[in-house]
A and B are shown apart, each in its own frame.
Chain A
């Protein structure tokens, strides 16, 4: 088995590494003094050169995003803000929670460095409302760092000011979406806004705002400390570095793992994550949080874990790295109904296709699961999903549509096997490859 890298998780095994004295014995806050001697633009350049891509889900290059902040003369006197996305609500994702819990100083140091790089004097960490216990720990870490002069006014005598605050959400998945998060931070309902304007140009309080994920911030600390070339020794050409994966479902060793990007996915599941229970076979994997398309065992066997391979092999995404593994005992109709209940519950309600469509898809899936649906319902389901994708204000609509589209397409038997066959609908009507007996165009032999 490949050596597991430990650059973001290097202090997790050290007892009490959430305490600053312990963390500092193992390298915490050693990068900040050097970073403050660099020009802000130099730091952005290092992050660009490292190829770091945002770890919140979208995988957008971090340094490039920072470059979108308008120069001071084009800001109408507005300040710049940094917001760290610690909302972590995507089902299957639980890496940020442990990162903040085991080693809060790692991402806090990255926040201060990043704030300096983009010219922000205030940084807000937006934690999901359920993370009250995590917030307490992060607040303690902030207080410790402030006492040492790493946070606050005139940091280490450099003349640089960075304040860091935590802000607790109150239960709403959609607040993980960056524009919704910023509305929530402003004390409003957490409803997404149309982009553009992008937050980097007009974000919190209508000022330029960079939103970055917790893991992204932790990676910045390492990259600035060790250099872009050292970071690129991990991962692949287009997916450099390491990634935290949170793996759950039917594996024997669920949990958070730091991996070198580009390792074979099947090896990760079968070795690192402990494999399946004895006698069980792999049925499906959702590789990057519940929103991304599902993968078949054959696709898993061909993919490596990085942004490109997963997409090329399966049309899915690495996303947040929240991997859900399902063995052959899984009822996929029930699983998909479970996810659509989630999306129907979490739609913010602004866009009709999303608000109505998610509820409708959930109700159909509930009937499928209970054996009360027909194959016509499956075609309706596929239609609904197609009509939500890309027709909404935010990416949530697509997040709800992609599971429906991909589960039907890749596992049609799981669904056709659960419904009453009228013969009016074939596999092609749900986007699946017509199997033997079904003619392309969707009419089954039986209907003839």
Chain B
């Protein structure tokens, strides 16, 4: 069993997690296919994929550590460095840009003191620009954690961020996730 430091913690799976990993691996004809699911599990558990965490994943899936590192580096959602508690991923691709994505980004930038990595000093937020999230008809939009926050206005952003700041985030999934058409006239 791997037993290394990650931010000073021990890096290992629990018995229950190991059982879950075996169930996941059994879905595929090759154990290697459990790579992304296990990387996701590791990221949820440890927050980000440090080298010790990637070594644990590699051992779990049965590949050399370099392979786990190469795969992790290919995918943008896999975190190779720590981030703030809430990562504000604002889409800036064409459709969102046509409807004010830059204004939303500037608004968020004006609210906090982001460092060059996009993190706030208190570790609460990270601001990232991301590419199209398949929410183009309800842009501008951002993803925070698992959920989408759509049809953003500066006021709505204030409300959403105040929720995170107070420790009482707005309930998810957001009601907009149900609305596949939006009438700007009404």
Contact = CB atoms under 8 A, between A and B. Distances in A.
A71 interface: no
Interface in B36-89: 36-37, 39-40, 61, 63, 70-71, 74-78
A91 to B, nearest CB: 4
| Contact-residue bracket for chain A | 35 or more
B181 A256 contact: yes
Contacts of A338: 92-94, 97
B177 A133 contact: yes
Contacts of A94: 134-137
B113 interface: no
B130 to A, nearest CB: 8
Contacts of B35: 187-188
Interface residues of B, number: 52
A274 B180 contact: no
A246 B33 contact: no
A274 B29 contact: no
A342 B181 CA distance: 26
A297 interface: no
B26 to A, nearest CB: 10
Interface stretch (A95-103, A216-224, A234-242, A262-270): A95-103
Contact of B134 (A12, A93, A345): A93
A222 B168 CA distance: 44
Given A189-B70, A249-B99, A256-B180, A97 B134 contact: yes
Nearest to A99: B180
Contacts of A132: 146
A201 interface: no
A113 interface: no
Of B39, B76, B180, most A-chain CB atoms within 10 Å? B180
Contact of A254 (B32, B61, B77, B182): B182
A334 B97 CA distance: 10
A426 interface: no
Given A170-B40, A338-B97, A91 B136 contact: yes
A442 interface: no
Interface in A172-187: 172-173, 184-187
A40 B135 CA distance: 37
A190 B74 contact: yes
Interface in A132-187: 132-133, 136, 163, 165, 167-173, 184-187
Contacts of A339: 93-94
Interface in A222-259: 246-250, 252-257
B61 A89 contact: no
Contacts of A246: 136-137
Given A187-B35, A338-B94, A128 B134 contact: yes
Contacts of A330: 98
Of B36, B63, B76, B179, most A-chain CB atoms within 10 Å? B36
A207 B28 CA distance: 13
Contacts of A205: 28-30, 33
A92 B182 contact: no
A324 interface: yes
A69 interface: no
Contacts of A129: 75, 77
Interface in A85-135: 88-94, 96-98, 101-102, 122, 128-133
Of B138, B147, B182, most A-chain CB atoms within 10 Å? B182
Given A171-B76, A249-B95, A256-B180, A93 B136 contact: yes
